[in-house]
Structure 1
């Protein structure tokens, strides 16, 4: 039978080409998503500014001992004294400690990264003019800025204006500004702390052995010894946390693509094999066994699948690189994260495609193989088989799983609901696809009379065709359901989540103005200065970070490297907001449900009610702040927050030393009644150098821009997955029409005009679109209603009705075009012509 399969492939080019395209595109997307997943696991970030040091020591960003090793959100600092210890490690020829801080030139507003001069050798930078900075007041700038040696420049550093004399110019691709080491440590605002330490090895020393010796020297401390691409983690610690986000994103994206591939290939292959039912019936009539029929179909399919997946291995990694670059451009992941994927994603994608093809081939061959020889020829002309009990049971099982996930979605916190809703959409899609014949039959029955009344004979022929060939109708409906259901579910999922986040922002905003600085932040004493300005009712710092309530079993010294074992605790994580006690109630919606927010001073905290249950007012709450620092904070109040958006309030003075810059990024200002906010904004902006003041409308617009940036990722996923489903829709419709050659010829021979046949096919396209949209709408509704209940506390998802209208119009247009254009091609010849193939 394999020999027959090889010899007959060329006679079924149309059907196999449709399945080939589906497998090729699906395998390429799955391979690309697998590469994204592996890149998220490796989190490689090739070093740039620290590239000259073969070994880099930086703070370990992992929260050891927790389930999954949580990642601290802020940079974990390193003791400056460690540099001297490491200099004595055998094989270390030199050390260079590095700190980073923002420097903004007042002329032109150019933003630079400030460092100490001793770290210039890490890049390395080359001094092209002048001398190194020495003492207070000297600075070295990039030569491409157009400044001259000896010139005096003004720069915003730590929220204030500093005057520097340009002592030298450096060449290089970076945007580094260099101060004397002592001056840089003062500007960084972390006394006794540095960001990282670069180690230079002696000539002839084994860098790997030196790295092992360094690891032994720092054992038991919250530091990491980095070599190779890992050194980039010291430059951008966000790669650890944001790069980790790439893992669930790639897994969800790849899983969704794989599911679409399964149904697309099954639908197109099923249609292709149904076209060959007369040939299969003839083989059964002349003595072919069911096993031989299965081997024939499976052999043909696997030959085609091997070719399709083999070709997909070439563009697959490029798809992954393109997706990673797109995510980085949108700000979803750091742009320093490198695409690192080996053979595992290729093997996984290839195996997925081959197993999909194999399963689809067995399913498609089942009806033909189980036919008895005496029924074969009759079975070739009319459809007699009902779909199996196993399919019914499996479909109902998937619907049950979808219902369970829907319940989980509705009970999830708002920000986490999409993580449950996405697999729920997959499960619902599988269930409705397996029960497709029932849905198609129901829609056909419901539309039979309206279509016949509206279109006459064309409607009669179309509905009778649909009723007689349910399997063919189902194969054509499935891609429409996939494209429409996923488009509606993913689009309204994004708009609903965006609206939920926007509601939380609007509900929490009480300030009229927000003050920021071009310097990258403001000193904490600027809050008091602004609060004393005429017309200001209240002012509060707003410092954001993320922290954990530390479990008792992790209260000891930091654990060393290694994964946490089974049963490791998962500490409660929450957003941290550093505020000013005197202005928090005037500028935010936070209100104490117990205790008092006025007591937020020193080592204190106000916890969300959800996490405050084990404690009483006055108790000490052990916490780990954003940079891994431990803090024993006195509970002074509890606050009510929306589930999933819990925020703990700390005094800004307590939180600032545990943030990256140690500066206040934003000061919220409430305006006194009777004061013009616009005039006050102008007064505040003139009050201090580099200040920027935004009103409430500008804050809302900024929030909308951030939402759009996050939504861009979802739109990309939507475009790729739904675009693939749309291609499959066109493939399936062309394939389904190609099966109708004999029917068209017969209709023409009995007197039907081309126009009449086209009207019949147009009505069938409408029927297919209606059935697909009905099933797709059920998938979307079953996914979105629980999500909306979780995010908006309402059953109706947020989003424009034009989205629904666009999906309906696009599905109808694609289905009509993919149906009528092939029909026109088939009707070009004379009714009695023979020997043509589609």
Structure 2
């Protein structure tokens, strides 16, 4: 059995080479995520809980999306590599191989390729992870002397995940061919059956319903947590399309064929007939490309929605004419100096104190997440966080806090319950006196000066909310405050500037998104190339019956265009519920889409399909015409 498996890998090294590249790239990105997570946990254990919590949170949030993408891409690539060998499996059955022998052979083949490609990719990712160190430093997530922690653990985890994904997919791919009658299998290898089993249909339906329900999870999960949950709906819907792909893609291609007149150009006519007859094969190409559209659009659109939601909440919460922030070198007596500026009616100083929130109150382990507590002066009305439960009057007492709806949901601490915090050297069970809805604009936790002072935390104002007297010269007051070594702007301008200046913090998110898209792009390129190369016999037959090489190239180009546009449509449809759900959860207004990213990715998907197919078709048609 081992000899048969090793011979199969060598005989089909072209198809397995593409699969190996996909597995290696996926393992590399998984290893990078593991390095981020391990580095974060080591920083936490070393005393830098703030940076450690940020890295752990970043790696955890990214890992969920990455694992979904890796599973889908690896599954599509492995299943396509095995699909082109259905005739071989049928011949093995015809000469006496049992179904279990065929399954074991394929399992060994996929296992060998996985155990060779995954470690190589994971090791490259392990050392490549340090290329992200400058981005992490520039984003302010870690200290300037930060160096990623390297160990074998991320490599082992990445290899394990790849093997656990690829081997079962290979076994499932061989299962259908192994249990099919050899004669029927030979017939099916020439003409594909677009029908799918009842189990697959029901699973696709369940994933569709689950994706739609998840898209609107913001109706009962507040803020950024609900937005993150809703964003995952796009991946579930693409997964549903992958399961129902032969039926769904076949239905789309049927409509395309009906729009094309039968007396059209030969290349176009052949292309339309091919896409109708081989919807199952083309599904493995459409799904990775649709995933590119969905992944890029949902990630960038969610970021934009959260940014706009934070701006809206800040503007709604701050009831002041100007927001003043000190610049470097400003006087410690800045609040008094601003209060003395002509035209200033009142000033309200705001401060933030560092802290940590316990994230696993029901377990025995002590897990902490870095946070900041916004300190509001007693009795201030300059900030309205939109209290939905309780009252802010209670934060005057020591060890009392108000929490955002996000924090209340994640921690499970409502009004009258306690939230475990670490303030300085003290662990505090702070009583929750209020829950408010504008957490993205105000902050996750609000407290009063008494709580900070009780635990030795200095309350140093970092923001001043300034109200001007009626009829005061706004421009003059702004200029006078600026001359004191501070910036002054209305709330809308202040938060817009702050969000723009925080753009550097998104660099790591962009880098991780590009890595994610890289995995999908490599998978899509591999599937396109394997699909085209596997058609050499088909193209040779067409050439023998009179089709010229130019017509063959034209046919594959039209097929690629139809495939790329279909992928774009599916990716767009899959992402619409997520965009609506995310926007409904964090915005007061219509849904938002990052149109620039969406437009670039949409065009890139179609061009990518055309270029990748053309490169593979050029060689394939040359070989086919030479054979013919």
TM over 0.5: yes
State whether residues 418 and 429 of structure 2, in contact with CA within 8 Å, keep that contact through their aligned partners in structure 1. Answer: yes
Gaps of 5+ in 2: none
More displaced stretch, 799-808 vs 733-742: 799-808
Partner of 2:615: 821
Task: In structure 1, list runs of 5 or more residues that go unmatched.
Answer: 45-228, 234-238, 551-562
- Which of 84, 90, 95 aligns to 1:275? It is 84
CA contact (8 A) 1:547 1:623 kept: no
Q: Equivalents in 1 of 2:415, 2:448: separation in Å?
A: 22
Separation in structure 1 between the aligned mates of residue 87 and residue 429 of structure 2, nearest angstrom: 79
The alpha-carbon deviation at position 751 of structure 1 amounts to: 2.2
Cα drift, residue 307 of structure 1:
1.2
The corresponding residue for 2:269 is 460
Q: 2:139 is matched with which residue?
A: 330
Asked if 2 retains the 8 angstrom alpha-carbon contact of 1:328 and 1:335, the reply is: yes
Distance 1:682 1:764, change over 3 A: same
- 2:63 maps to 254
Counterpart-to-counterpart distance in 2, 1:5 and 1:569: 49
Measure the CA separation in 1 of the matches of 2:393 and 2:81: 73
Q: Give how far 1:764 is off.
A: 1.2
Structure 1 position 473, deviation (Å): 1.2
Select the residue among 260, 283, 295 that pairs with 1:486: 295
Give the Cα–Cα distance (whole angstroms) in 2 for the partners of residues 409 and 592 of structure 1: 19
**For 1:402 and 1:498, how far apart are their aligned partners in 2?**
24
1:359 CA drift (Å): 1.4
Residue 561 of structure 2 corresponds to 766
Moved more, 511-520 or 726-735: 511-520
Q: Any idea what SS the aligned residue of 1:828 has?
A: helix
Distance change >3 Å, CA 269–CA 450, structure 1 → 2: same
- Deviation of 1:440 (Å): 0.9
Output the CA distance in 2 between the equivalents of 1:790 and 1:622: 25
Identify the residue that residue 19 of structure 1 maps to in structure 2.
19
Change in CA separation of 1:596 and 1:437 when aligned onto 2, cut-off 3 Å: closer
Deviations 1:617-666 (A, max 9, x none): xxx9999684366999999x979643666666656587468686542222
**1:642 aligns to what?**
438
Structure 1 residue 393: deviation in Å?
2.8
- Following superposition, the deviation at residue 381 of structure 1 comes to 2.0
Match of 1:785 among 580, 593, 610: 580
Give the SS at the match of 2:617.
Answer: helix
Cα distance between partner residues in 2 of 1:412 and 1:598 = 27
How big is the shift at 1:376? 4.0
Change in Cα spacing, 1:367 to 1:470, as seen in structure 2 (3 Å) is farther
Cα deviations across residues 222-262 of structure 1 (Å, max 9, x unaligned)? Answer: xxxxxxx83xx3xxxxx313312322321332333333222
Q: Where does residue 693 of structure 1 map in the other structure? A: 487
Larger Rg: 1
CA contact (8 A) 1:496 1:798 kept: yes
Instruction: Quote the offset at 1:541 in angstroms.
Output: 0.5
Q: Is the 8 A contact 1:29 1:319 kept in 2?
A: no
Do the aligned residues in 2 keep the contact of 1:439 with 1:771 (CA within 8 Å)?
A: no
Q: Secondary structure at the match of 2:324?
A: strand
Q: Which moved more, 1:409-418 or 1:25-34?
A: 409-418
Change (3 A) 1:547 1:828: closer
In structure 1, C-alpha distance between the alignment counterparts of 2:504 and 2:344, rounded to whole Å = 33
Q: Is the 8 A contact 1:494 1:711 kept in 2?
A: no
Q: Shift of residue 692 of structure 1?
A: 2.2
Partner of 2:351: 543
Contact 1:443 1:770 in 2 (8 A): no
Contact 1:433 1:478 in 2 (8 A): yes
8 Å Cα contact 1:437-1:474 kept in structure 2: yes
Match of 2:472 in 1: 675
Q: How many pairs does the alignment contain? A: 619
- After the TM superposition, which residues 466-505 of structure 1 pair with which residues of structure 2 at under 5 Å, given as runs? 466-505=275-314
The SS at the match of 2:97 is coil
2:499 counterpart residue number: 704
1:799 counterpart SS class = coil
Separation (CA, whole Å) in 1 of partners of 2:142 and 2:429:
33
What does the per-residue CA deviation read over 1:741-775, in whole Å, with 9 as the maximum and x for residues that have no partner?
Answer: 12222222222233322222122112212332233
Question: Residues 529 and 692 from structure 1, CA distance in 2 versus in 1: closer, same or farther, beyond 3 angstroms?
Answer: closer
2:529 aligned with 1:734: yes
Q: 1:263 to 1:623 in 2, by over 3 A?
A: closer
Displacement, 1:478?
A: 1.7
Residues 764-795 of structure 1 show CA distances to partners (whole Å, capped at 9, x for unaligned) of: 1122123322332233123222222111155x
Change (3 A) 1:790 1:243: same
Query: Equivalents in 2 of 1:564, 1:606: separation in Å?
Result: 17
SS at match of 1:17: helix
- 1:808 matched to 2:598? The reply is no
Q: CA deviation at 1:2?
A: 2.6
Q: Which moved more, 1:766-775 or 1:12-21?
A: 766-775
> Could you say what secondary structure the match of 1:827 adopts?
helix
Which stretch of structure 1 is more off in the superposition, 503-512 or 824-833? Answer: 824-833
In terms of mean alpha carbon deviation, does 20-29 or 713-722 score higher?
Answer: 713-722
TM superposition shift of 1:721: 0.5
Give the Cα–Cα distance (whole angstroms) in 2 for the partners of residues 259 and 362 of structure 1: 20
- CA–CA distance in 2 between the matches of 1:363 and 1:631? 53
Query: Could you tell me whether the CA contact under 8 Å between 1:31 and 1:349 is conserved in 2?
Result: yes
**For residues 298 and 568 of structure 1, what CA distance do their matches in structure 2 show?**
40
For the pair 1:750 / 2:545, whether they are aligned, the reply is: yes
TM alignment of 1:234-249, pairs within 5 A: 239-249=48-58
> Normalised by the size of structure 1, how large is the TM-score?
0.66
Q: Distance in 2 between matches of 1:668 and 1:528?
A: 13
1:496 Cα deviation after fit:
1.1
What is the distance in 1 between the residues matched to 2:16 and 2:122? 19
Pairing partner for 2:424 from 627, 631, 637: 627
In the TM superposition, what is the alpha-carbon distance from 1:520 to its structure 2 partner? 7.2
Residues 812, 244 of structure 1: alpha-carbon distance in 2 compared, 3 angstrom cutoff: same
**Displacement of 1:725:** 0.4
Counterpart CA distance in 2 for 1:787 and 1:416 is: 10
Query: Distance in 2 between the 1:621 and 1:298 partners?
Result: 53
Aligned to 2:40: 40
- For residues 382-421 of structure 1, the aligned pairs below 5 Å read 382-384=191-193, 386-421=195-230
- Determine the structure 2 residue equivalent to 1:518: 328
1:244 & 1:513 partners in 2: Cα distance?
30
The structural deviation recorded for 1:410 is 3.2
**What TM-score do you get using the length of structure 2 for normalisation?**
0.85
CA contact (8 A) 2:323 2:466 kept: yes
Contact 1:593–1:638 under 8 Å retained in 2: yes
Distance in 2 (alpha carbons) for counterparts of 1:283 and 1:424: 41
Q: 1:504 to 1:453 in 2, by over 3 A?
A: farther
Judge conservation of contact 1:37–1:251 (CA < 8 Å) in 2. Answer: yes
Q: Does the C-alpha gap of structure 1 residues 740 and 654 become closer, same or farther in structure 2, counting only changes over 3 Å?
A: closer
How do 1:354-373 residues align onto structure 2 when only pairs under 5 Å count?
Answer: 354-373=163-182
**Any conservation in 2 of the 1:622–1:630 contact (CA below 8 Å)?**
no
Asked whether the 8 Å contact 2:9–2:109 carries over to 1, the reply is yes
Given that 2:49 and 2:370 are in contact with CA atoms closer than 8 Å, whether structure 1 keeps it comes out as no
Of 321, 327, 341, the match for 1:533: 341
- The alpha-carbon deviation at position 270 of structure 1 amounts to 2.2
- Alpha-carbon distance in structure 1 between the residues aligned to 2:393 and 2:214: 43
User: Taking structure 1 as reference, are residues 570 and 381 closer, same or farther at Cα in structure 2, changes over 3 Å only?
Assistant: closer
Report the CA distance between 1:408 and its aligned residue. Answer: 2.9
How far residue 817 of structure 1 moved from its aligned partner, in angstroms, is 0.5
Q: Are the counterparts in 2 of residues 262 and 356 from structure 1 also a CA contact under 8 Å?
A: yes
Q: Provide closer, same or farther for how the CA distance between residues 266 and 597 of structure 1 changes in structure 2, counting only shifts above 3 A.
A: closer
8 Å CA contact retained: 1:22, 1:728: yes
Which of 453, 460, 464 pairs up with 1:663? 460
TM-aligned CA distance change 1:570 to 1:685, over 3 Å: same
2:111 is equivalent to residue 302 of structure 1: yes
